[in-house]
Amino acid sequence: MSIRKNYLQIRREIPDYVKIVLAAKMRTKEEIEEVISAGAEIIGENYVYEAEKLYISLGEDAKKLEWHMIGSLQKNKINKALKVFDCIQTIDSTELAEAVDKRAERMDKVTSVFIEVNIGSEITKCGVKPDYEMIKRIAIEISKLRYLKLKGLMTMGPRVGDPEDARPYFRKTKEIFDKLKDTGISNVDLKYLSMGMSNSYKIAIEEGANMVRLGTVIFGKRSCDLNN
Ligand SMILES: *Cc1c(COP(=O)(O)O)cnc(C)c1O
């Protein structure tokens, strides 16, 4: 199957309201161009440098897309990140939010952000602990920042073999999402719940995701994975 066919098939299979973020890590410019021509609208990148390179190489096409940062953002890369990204999905502390806001103000660029929830509480992973009060506190702090717009929550879910095992974690993230939304923090429009990847997106959608991040099912295995 071609990238184009894979994309179109998944687009048909999942509900229209679900946004697809194309996880572009390790992919070539040609692969990305193919998925754009099939209708892709959002590119997700893990690294600022790769995103910058891809952005430049795509020329005019790049400006028609939405660019989402889905990898953890180092403070010393914020300026560069803001030149490419429209949305940072990986805010996991008030400090990081404030640092992004300060630089966004200098660039006069209002930036969308998501709070990343470490739903499995795994030590090696980024994200805020799945503690509702803590997440709410960060959300309130973000709501006071003039150059950030809090629009969603993101989670990786636990990296488990059977995606069915991720279901309770997705469910819990949805509960946090709904509760936070119902709190009605002013200046916050919580719209997106970004969860689910190639092996788990169907389950994530069943549990309330309206944004999924897909790499392998669209592009095939990453070449580094083939060596394993
Ligand atoms: C790579 C990546 C994805 C997509 O992973 P696949 O399993 O290839 O679909 C989604 N989210 C993040 C944060 C990623 O780094």
User: Which atom of ligand 1 sits closest to the CA of residue 199?
Assistant: 7
Across the strands, what pairs with 115? 91, 153
Parallel, antiparallel, or unpaired for β 66-69 and 192-194? unpaired
Q: Residue 225: is its pLDDT beyond 70? A: no
Task: Look at residue 179 in the predicted model and tell me its pLDDT.
Answer: 98
**If you measure from the C-alpha of residue 18 to the centroid of ligand 1, how many angstroms do you get, rounded to a whole number?**
16
Q: 3-221 is classed in which CATH architecture? A: Alpha-Beta Barrel (3.20)
- 62 or 226, greater pLDDT: 62
- The reply to whether ligand 1 has any atom less than 6 angstroms from the CB of 27 is no
Q: Residue 109: is its pLDDT beyond 50? A: yes
Please state the rounded mean pLDDT for residues 75-97: 97
- The reply to whether ligand 1 has any atom less than 6 angstroms from the CB of 70 is yes
- The reply to whether ligand 1 has any atom less than 6 angstroms from the CB of 198 is yes
Give the pLDDT confidence of 16-58 residue by residue, as tens digits. Answer: 999 999 999 999 999 999 999 999 999 999 999 999 999 999 9
Give the pLDDT confidence of 134-180 residue by residue, as tens digits. Answer: 999 999 999 999 999 999 999 998 776 788 999 999 999 999 999 99
Q: Residue 203: is its pLDDT beyond 80? A: yes
Nearest-CA residue for atom 13 of ligand 1: 70
Residue-range domain boundaries for the chain:
3-221
Q: What is the dihedral of CA 51, 56, 57, 63, to 10 degrees?
A: 90
3-class SS of residue 147: coil
Q: How far is C-alpha 134 from the geometric centre of its chain's CA atoms? A: 20
- The reply to whether ligand 1 has any atom less than 6 angstroms from the CB of 25 is yes
Please state which of the ranges 82-91, 97-106, 121-130 shows the lowest mean pLDDT.
Answer: 121-130
Task: Look at residue 124 in the predicted model and tell me its pLDDT.
Answer: 62
**If you measure from the C-alpha of residue 189 to the centroid of ligand 1, how many angstroms do you get, rounded to a whole number?**
25
**If you measure from the C-alpha of residue 123 to the centroid of ligand 1, how many angstroms do you get, rounded to a whole number?**
19
User: Which atom of ligand 1 sits closest to the CA of residue 218?
Assistant: 9
204/54 Cα distance (integer angstroms): 28
**If you measure from the C-alpha of residue 36 to the centroid of ligand 1, how many angstroms do you get, rounded to a whole number?**
18
